[in-house]
C-alpha cells in the first residue's frame, strides 16, 4: 500500500505531545496504523520528549508517595470494558472499543456511522461510506476536517486518496471528491465545526449530492 | 521508608534503565523503587509545567510508575527507549487527567490506558531503539540553542507558547513558526542520517 497523503508536521507534533483533541487524535492514529513514515517520525518525536523529560529538574515527591505506590502494586488493573467493534477493518484497537452508532442514510449512496467519544471533544468522529461514482460536494465547516481512508478510494483536485491516505480540508478548500470505481469507499472523518447535535442530520444531508 | 530515602539509579543511561524495567517485569520491588526515585520526580515536573496542580502532579507521577509496574513485561528495549516509553505513559495519563479535569484526590484505578494504545507498523528500515536514539541525539546536537529549546517546550500545551515567547524573548506570533522551522530542520537532519 502506497500512502501519498500525510498529516501535517504540526499535527504529528501535537500527537506526540499529546495536545490533539480526541477526535483529531483518532484520525491521526488511524493513519499511523498503516503509515511507517509518520509513525516513525512520531516515535522520533517521543524520543525528543524523552530527552526533554530527562533534562527536567526533579520535583520532590510527597514523603509517602513511594510507600503508597508500593502498597498498590499487587492490586489488579481494572479490566477493559466494552465490546469490540470489528465491522470495519482498519481502525486502531482503541477506537474499536468506542461505541458505534448505526449506519444512517445521509444521501444517495452515502451512509454515516457516528462514533461516540468517551470524552468531550470539539471534533466529531464518524465513518462515512459512499458507493463508487458518488460525487460529494464539499460542505462548509468553520474549521478542520480530517479524513483517513479505510477502504476504497476517492479522488479530488488534491489527488488520489486510497487506504491509509490522510486528507485535510478547511474553509479554504473547495474540493469535490469523487468516489473511485470498484468498492465502496469507507473513511474515518474527524470534523470540527459549529454544527449542533440536534440539527446534525439535516445539516449533513445537504452536502451530499449524487450526479 | 520515604521516597527521599531511595537512591536513584547510579547510572541513568538507557541500558541501565532498560535493565531496571526488565527487573520490574520480574516483580523486583527494589528495581521499582529505583525507577520511581529517578522518574517520578521528573514526571512530576513535567506534569506541573503542563498545568497540573502540585498534588495532582504527585498523584499522576505515582500513577505513571504504577503503570510501569503493570506493563513492564510489555516493554521492548529493542524498539523503544526506556525514557521514551515512560514519557508516553506520563503523556497519556496527562491527556486523560487534563481532559477529565480530575481534581486532586479523586484519582482511582480507573485510568483507561488501553484508550491510548495506538498501533504502529514496523519502521521503514530496521534500526533498533539504541541506533535511532543515537541518530536523534546527533540531530538534536546540530540544532542551535533556540531551536532545541522551542522543540522541548512544544511538548507542553499551546498555552505554554506564551511562556516560550517570554523565555526566548520573541513575539508570541513567531513561536509557532519557530517551532515549525525547528521541527522541519530536525526532520531533515534525521532523514539525512538514514
DSSP letters spanning B117-134: ----PPPSS---HHHHHH
Q: What residues of chain A lie within 8 A of the CB of B42, using their CB?
A: 53-54, 56, 58
Higher local confidence (pLDDT), A65 or A107: A65
* Contact (Cβ atoms closer than 8 angstroms) between residue B21 and residue B27: no
B117 vs A96: CA distance, rounded Å: 11
Taking only residues 152 to 191 of chain B, the set having a beta carbon closer than 8 angstroms to any beta carbon of chain A reads 152, 154-158, 179-180, 183-184, 186-187, 190
Delimit the domains of chain B by residue range.
1-120, 124-194
Query: Could you confirm whether domain B124-194 is CATH 1.10.3720.10?
Result: no
Q: How confident is the model over A118-123, as a mean pLDDT?
A: 82
Taking only residues 131 to 150 of chain B, the set having a beta carbon closer than 8 angstroms to any beta carbon of chain A reads 132-133, 136-137, 140
Inter-chain contact B62–A64, Cβ cutoff 8 Å?
no
Asked if B23 reaches chain A (Cβ–Cβ under 8 Å), the answer is: no
What is the least distance, in Å, from the CA of A71 to any CA of chain B?
Answer: 10
Question: Domain B1-120 adopts which CATH fold?
Answer: Rna Polymerase Sigma Factor; Chain: A (1.10.1740)
Q: How confident is the model over A39-65, as a mean pLDDT?
A: 92
**E strand segments, A9-144:** 99-100, 104-107, 110-116, 123-130
Q: How confident is the model over B132-154, as a mean pLDDT?
A: 84
Lowest mean pLDDT among A200-209, B30-39, B181-190: A200-209
Return the C-alpha cell found at A27. Answer: 484520525
Inter-chain contact B81–A47, Cβ cutoff 8 Å?
yes
Higher local confidence (pLDDT), A16 or B136: A16
Query: pLDDT band at B39, cuts 50/70/90?
Result: very high
Q: What is the CA radius of gyration of chain B?
A: 18
Residue A28 confidence (pLDDT) above 90: yes
What sign results for the dihedral spanned by CA atoms B158, A44, B136, B12?
Answer: positive
Lowest mean pLDDT among B12-21, B50-59, B172-181: B172-181
* Contact (Cβ atoms closer than 8 angstroms) between residue A34 and residue B121: yes
The answer to whether the B1-120 and B124-194 domains have the same CATH topology is no
Query: pLDDT band at B85, cuts 50/70/90?
Result: very high
Q: Please, what's the b/e burial string for A63-101 (b: 16 or more CB within 10 A of its CB; e: otherwise)? A: eebbebbbeeeeeebeeeeeeeeeebebbbebbbbbebe
Residue B31 confidence (pLDDT) above 70: yes
The highest-confidence range among A174-183, A198-207, B79-88, by mean pLDDT, is: B79-88
Residue B56 confidence (pLDDT) above 80: yes
Query: pLDDT band at B191, cuts 50/70/90?
Result: confident
Higher local confidence (pLDDT), B7 or A45: A45
Residue A15's pLDDT is 93
Query: pLDDT band at B160, cuts 50/70/90?
Result: low
Higher local confidence (pLDDT), A114 or A204: A114
Residue A163's pLDDT is 96
Q: What ipTM describes this predicted complex?
A: 0.83
Q: How confident is the model over B170-178, as a mean pLDDT?
A: 82
What CATH class is the domain A1-78+88-211?
Answer: mainly beta
A55: buried, middle or exposed (CB in 10 Å: 19+, 13-18, 0-12)?
exposed
Lowest mean pLDDT among B35-49, B62-76, B95-109: B95-109
Residue A76's pLDDT is 73
Mutant choice from A50, A74, A122 vs B, greatest count of B C-beta within 10 A = A50
Name the DSSP class of A183: S
Residue B26 confidence (pLDDT) above 90: yes
Q: How many residue pairs from chains A and B have C-beta atoms closer than 8 A?
A: 188
Q: Which residue in B has a C-alpha nearest to residue A12's C-alpha?
A: B183
What is the overall mean pLDDT for chain A?
Answer: 83
Nearest by CB to B6, which of A18, A66, A80? A66
Delimit the domains of chain A by residue range.
1-78+88-211
Tell me how many degrees the CA angle B70-B1-B14 measures, rounded to the nearest 5.
45
Q: What is the CA radius of gyration of chain A?
A: 20
pLDDT tens per residue, range B96-118: 887 766 444 444 445 566 667 77
Higher local confidence (pLDDT), B80 or B98: B80
Residue A57's pLDDT is 93
Q: Which residue in A has a C-alpha nearest to residue B177's C-alpha?
A: A10
Residue B6's pLDDT is 46
The highest-confidence range among A27-41, A134-148, A184-198, B160-174, by mean pLDDT, is: A27-41
Nearest by CB to B81, which of A50, A58, A78? A50
Amino acid at each position: 500500500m502506497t500512502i501519498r497523503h500525510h498529516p501535517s508536521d504540526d499535527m504529528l507534533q501535537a500527537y506526540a505531545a499529546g495536545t490533539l483533541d480526541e477526535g483529531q487524535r483518532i484520525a491521526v492514529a488511524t493513519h499511523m496504523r498503516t503509515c511507517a513514515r509518520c509513525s516513525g517520525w512520531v516515535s522520533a518525536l517521543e524520543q525528543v520528549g524523552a530527552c526533554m523529560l530527562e533534562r527536567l529538574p526533579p520535583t520532590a515527591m510527597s514523603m509517602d508517595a513511594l510507600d503508597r505506590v508500593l502498597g498498590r502494586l499487587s492490586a489488579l488493573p481494572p479490566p477493559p470494558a466494552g465490546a469490540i467493534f470489528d465491522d470495519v477493518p482498519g481502525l486502531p484497537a482503541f477506537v474499536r472499543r468506542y461505541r458505534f452508532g448505526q449506519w444512517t442514510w445521509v444521501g444517495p449512496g452515502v451512509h454515516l456511522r457516528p462514533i461516540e467519544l468517551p470524552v468531550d471533544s470539539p471534533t466529531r468522529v464518524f465513518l462515512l461510506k459512499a458507493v463508487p461514482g458518488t460525487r460529494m460536494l464539499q460542505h462548509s465547516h468553520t474549521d478542520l476536517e480530517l479524513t483517513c481512508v479505510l477502504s476504497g478510494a476517492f479522488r479530488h483536485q488534491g489527488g488520489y486518496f486510497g487506504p491509509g491516505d490522510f486528507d485535510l480540508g478547511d474553509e479554504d478548500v473547495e474540493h469535490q471528491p469523487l468516489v473511485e470505481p470498484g468498492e465502496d469507499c469507507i473513511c474515518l472523518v474527524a470534523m470540527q465545526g459549529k454544527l449542533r447535535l440536534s440539527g446534525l442530520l439535516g445539516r449533513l444531508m445537504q452536502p451530499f449530492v449524487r450526479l | 521508608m520515604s521516597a527521599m530515602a531511595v537512591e536513584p539509579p547510579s547510572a541513568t543511561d538507557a541500558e541501565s534503565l532498560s535493565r531496571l524495567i526488565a527487573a520490574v517485569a520480574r516483580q523486583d520491588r527494589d528495581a521499582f523503587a529505583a525507577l520511581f526515585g529517578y522518574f517520578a520526580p521528573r514526571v512530576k515536573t513535567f506534569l506541573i509545567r503542563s498545568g497540573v496542580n502540585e498534588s495532582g502532579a504527585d498523584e499522576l507521577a505515582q500513577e505513571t510508575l504504577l503503570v510501569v509496574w503493570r506493563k513492564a513485561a510489555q516493554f521492548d528495549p529493542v524498539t523503544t527507549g526506556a525514557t521514551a516509553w515512560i514519557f508516553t505513559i506520563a503523556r497519556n495519563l496527562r491527556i486523560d487527567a487534563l481532559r477529565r479535569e480530575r481534581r486532586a484526590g479523586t484519582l482511582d484505578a480507573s485510568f483507561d490506558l488501553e484508550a491510548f494504545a495506538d498501533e504502529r507498523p514496523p519502521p521503514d528500515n530496521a534500526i533498533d531503539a539504541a541506533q535511532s536514539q543515537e541518530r536523534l541525539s546527533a540531530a538534536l546536537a546540530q540544532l542551535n540553542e533556540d531551536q532545541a529549546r522551542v522543540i522541548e517546550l512544544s511538548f507542553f500545551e499551546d498555552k505554554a507558547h506564551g511562556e516560550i515567547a517570554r523565555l526566548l524573548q520573541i513575539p508570541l506570533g513567531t513561536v509557532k513558526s519557530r517551532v515549525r522551522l525547528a521541527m522541519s530542520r530536525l526532520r531533515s537532519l534525521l532523514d539525512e542520517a538514514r
